[in-house]
């Protein structure tokens, strides 16, 4: 049984195939954290508990004596920390009582263990069959406030991951307010030799990897923008100082949430550390009347003693198999051409048809019509919210264009930005109250648009009806769902005063409800998320959309950093990546078409340029790229990723590879960022079966997996800046 409870010692032990997580109920009813790390076979783990004498001014539960050793919540490793009752480190839970005080203190009441995993009502989360996971529910209670707190732990035994979330219920006869409720809290006994990792960025430089020693302070990543954001991703990791891609203790944390989040690691004076992750408490308060409940989003926790690479591969497997869902979870995605960088707003039916016709000749499988097809939309200044055909551009309407494109053998996709409304639009003139706003405050405008109040059912009904009308009018196979500004003046005209601090979270719940409604109505739809590029690349979106546009920066060399950072916890099958034109529209860099293709193949693959302007030679390269991607699709999207050379630690070159689950096939990609006078280099591979023999199809060389991994591929060819090579290895007898 992957979850075990020992009644005598009151110890809970949660095991995956490679990890153990241990906690204990102490004599006062508090849950103490004992261990998280490599699998421990032993059942008797009482030796992990400890007493911790500290300064006399620290609050304690009762007076110290021979029979009652020193116990203070501020010095022990608490399983789920609370506010105001003696634990002065960051708190996971704070309840504001009707008395006006916010001291919170929870104790164990009961628990249950069962196969499978419960759903989180109205929110995305990982899922599992009864054979894939086991769940522990621990019921705790704060007797003073009447708050019942249920802690959920689900163990994915084979995968090696664990998920957590929390439900708070008001069992009192008076209202209460949740000030903060984090989804996970983990106390580490010794973090003095650990590093803190997070993914920071901005528009066009999303998910940049940063690693620094953990300090005697609080290091954090957060968003207050109403989305997970370009600035910080809802992912952090702690790892040992000596951790590399292949070895060392590594702990990863990822929040399945697309709104405001907060993630932190706080190291105290004795070298212990506390990790917290959940909804950002700034701008958040949730009012609970008697018998009402609040369910926090899910956090995913991964431990590996095989370094950053081991951590990433666990995340990838879990998200591919137990988060992504629907028809496109395991179905090959179409190679697409998006017209945005080819035409921007300047297009009509004939221009799109010409691009589609060329695409059909080159092996591309879908045309995606981006922004500018609706209302009076000829720039970013107008018409968001007016979701009807612009027949000045599309003569005869959308149906006619889609039928012409389908006749070429291509699927058809379309762009929406449903959550936004232009100031200059029919919708805003009719319903200005539908935009987020607060009393007596001027509304901030960004990109000439406001944000619709997604907490309102009438807004969601309007958007669903608009999207349904478009979907029913033509054979549309794909939607690109965009989101191009942050939330400001976050208030709702329909909520009472004491619930206005709920709007940020209600907005996210409303978004989830609309996405679920659309996917239920159109189960064959392929949905791709986008938020000015990668501003919402988070696990929650993967529950609805198996792929996300990774960044608006389509330059192949810049994408090395962006896609490497993204791969820390997100699988290649989710990474929207396209070949774009040169000079690149963001960086003005010229890089070979071959390199642009190799980098884009580390993702869902497509094109972002005017195909009609390619030379005959370039068209042949595109044909080959499309054929190659189809050939290598399974190993890229379902294989295990091994990062060989990172672009931020070696500014001269970058390399990665995919290995099929059965070790019979591998694909290696090698990119020169900046060449040198002497370019002889041995690229050591990883993840192969050391005893199998592998043929390198590009060189004809046959070596054992052990030789490829220990000696490597000899790269003696003189390659220029921004050039690349791929090597396909197949096992032979």
Residues with catalytic roles: 482, 552
Helix (H, G, I), strand (E, B) or coil at 497: helix
CA distance 707 to 230: 41
Residue 276 buriedness (CB in 10 A; 0-12 / 13-18 / 19+): buried
Two tokens, residue 64: 């110290």
Of residues 236, 185, 265, 235, the one with CA closest to residue 23: 185
CB atoms within 10 A of CB 399: 13
Give 367's strand partners: 337, 412
Two tokens, residue 234: 């809802």
Angle value at C-alpha 258, between 500 and 182, nearest 5 degrees: 70
Q: Write 75-78 long-range contacts (CB < 8 A, 24+).
A: 75/270, 76/30, 76/32, 76/52, 77/32, 77/33, 77/34, 77/187, 77/188, 77/189, 77/272, 78/30, 78/31, 78/32, 78/33, 78/185, 78/187
Residue 85 buriedness (CB in 10 A; 0-12 / 13-18 / 19+): middle
Helix axes 616-638, 593-600, angle to 10 degrees: 20
Two tokens, residue 604: 């869902």
DSSP letter at 574 equals G
Of residues 204, 244, 205, 200, the one with CA closest to residue 223: 200
Strand duo 93-96 + 107-115: pairing:
unpaired
CA distance 205 to 216: 29
Helix (H, G, I), strand (E, B) or coil at 364: coil
Angle value at C-alpha 568, between 567 and 573, nearest 5 degrees: 30
DSSP characters over 608-657: ES-GGG--HHHHHHHHHHHHHHHHHHHHHHHSEEEEEE-TTT-TTEEEEE
Which distant-in-sequence residues (6+ apart) come within 8 Å of 41 by Cβ?
A: none
């Amino acid at each position: 049984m992957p979850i075990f409870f020992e009644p005598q010692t009151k110890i809970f032990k949660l095991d995956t195939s490679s990890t153990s997580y241990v906690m204990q109920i102490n004599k006062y009813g508090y849950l103490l954290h004992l261990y998280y790390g490599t699998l421990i076979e032993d059942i008797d783990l009482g030796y992990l508990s400890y007493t911790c004498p500290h300064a006399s001014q620290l609050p304690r539960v009762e007076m110290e004596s021979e029979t009652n050793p020193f116990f203070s919540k501020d010095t022990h490793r608490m399983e789920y920390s609370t506010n105001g009752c003696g634990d002065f480190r960051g708190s996971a839970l704070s309840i504001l009582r009707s008395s006006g005080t916010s001291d919170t203190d929870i104790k164990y009441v009961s628990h249950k263990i069962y196969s499978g995993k419960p759903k989180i009502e109205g929110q995305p989360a990982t899922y599992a069959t009864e054979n894939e996971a086991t769940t522990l529910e621990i019921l705790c209670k704060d007797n003073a406030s009447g708050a019942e707190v249920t802690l959920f732990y689900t163990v994915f035994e084979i995968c090696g991951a664990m998920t957590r979330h929390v439900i708070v219920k008001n069992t009192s006869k008076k209202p209460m307010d949740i000030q903060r409720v984090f989804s996970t809290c983990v106390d580490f006994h010794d973090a003095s030799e650990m590093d803190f990792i997070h993914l920071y960025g901005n528009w066009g430089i999303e998910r940049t990897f940063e690693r620094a020693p953990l300090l005697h302070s609080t290091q954090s990543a957060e968003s207050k923008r109403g989305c997970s954001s370009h600035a910080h991703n809802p992912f952090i990791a702690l790892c040992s100082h000596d951790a590399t891609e292949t070895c060392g203790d590594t702990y990863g944390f990822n929040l399945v949430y697309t709104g405001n989040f907060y993630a932190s690691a706080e190291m105290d004076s004795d070298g212990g550390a506390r990790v917290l992750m959940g909804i950002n408490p700034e701008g958040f308060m949730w009012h609970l009347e008697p018998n009402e409940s609040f369910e926090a989003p899910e956090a995913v926790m991964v431990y590996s003693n095989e370094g950053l690479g081991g951590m990433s591969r666990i995340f990838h497997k879990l998200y591919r198999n137990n988060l992504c869902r629907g028809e496109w979870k395991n179905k090959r995605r179409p190679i697409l051409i998006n017209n945005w960088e080819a035409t921007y707003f300047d297009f009509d039916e004939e221009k799109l048809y010409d691009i589609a016709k060329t695409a059909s000749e080159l092996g591309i499988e879908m045309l995606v019509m981006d922004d500018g097809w609706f209302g009076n939309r000829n720039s970013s200044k107008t018409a968001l919210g007016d979701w009807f055909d612009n027949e000045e551009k599309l003569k005869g309407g959308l149906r006619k264009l889609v039928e012409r494109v389908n006749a070429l053998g291509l699927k058809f996709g379309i762009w929406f930005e449903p959550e936004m409304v232009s100031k200059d639009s029919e919708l805003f003139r009719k319903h200005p109250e539908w935009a987020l706003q607060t009393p007596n405050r001027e509304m901030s405008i960004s990109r000439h648009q406001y944000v619709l109040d997604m907490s309102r059912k009438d807004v969601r009904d309007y958007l669903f009806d608009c999207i349904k009308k478009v979907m029913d009018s033509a054979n549309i196979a794909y939607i690109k769902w965009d989101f191009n500004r942050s939330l400001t003046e976050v208030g709702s005209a329909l909520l009472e005063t004491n619930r206005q601090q709920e709007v940020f979270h209600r907005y996210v719940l409303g978004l989830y409800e609309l996405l679920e409604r659309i996917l239920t109505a159109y189960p064959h739809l392929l949905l791709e998320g986008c938020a000015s590029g990668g501003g919402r690349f988070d696990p929650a979106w993967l529950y609805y959309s198996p792929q996300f546009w990774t960044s608006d920066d389509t330059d192949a060399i810049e994408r090395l950093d962006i896609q490497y950072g993204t791969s820390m916890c997100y699988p290649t099958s989710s990474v929207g990546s396209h070949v774009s034109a040169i000079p690149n529209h963001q960086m003005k860099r010229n890089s070979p078409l071959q390199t642009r293709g190799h980098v884009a193949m580390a993702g869902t693959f497509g094109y972002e340029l005017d195909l009609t302007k390619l030379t005959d030679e370039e068209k042949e390269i595109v044909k080959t790229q499309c054929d190659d991607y189809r050939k290598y699709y399974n190993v890229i999207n379902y294989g295990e990723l091994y990062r060989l050379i990172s672009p931020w630690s070696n500014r001269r070159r970058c390399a990665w590879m995919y290995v099929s689950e059965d070790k019979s096939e591998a694909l290696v990609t090698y990119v020169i960022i900046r060449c040198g006078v002497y370019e002889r280099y041995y690229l050591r591979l990883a993840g192969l079966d050391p005893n199998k023999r592998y043929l390198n199809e590009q060189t004809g060389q046959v070596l054992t997996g052990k030789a490829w991994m220990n000696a490597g591929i000899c790269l003696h060819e003189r390659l220029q800046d921004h050039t690349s090579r791929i090597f396909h290895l197949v096992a032979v007898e």
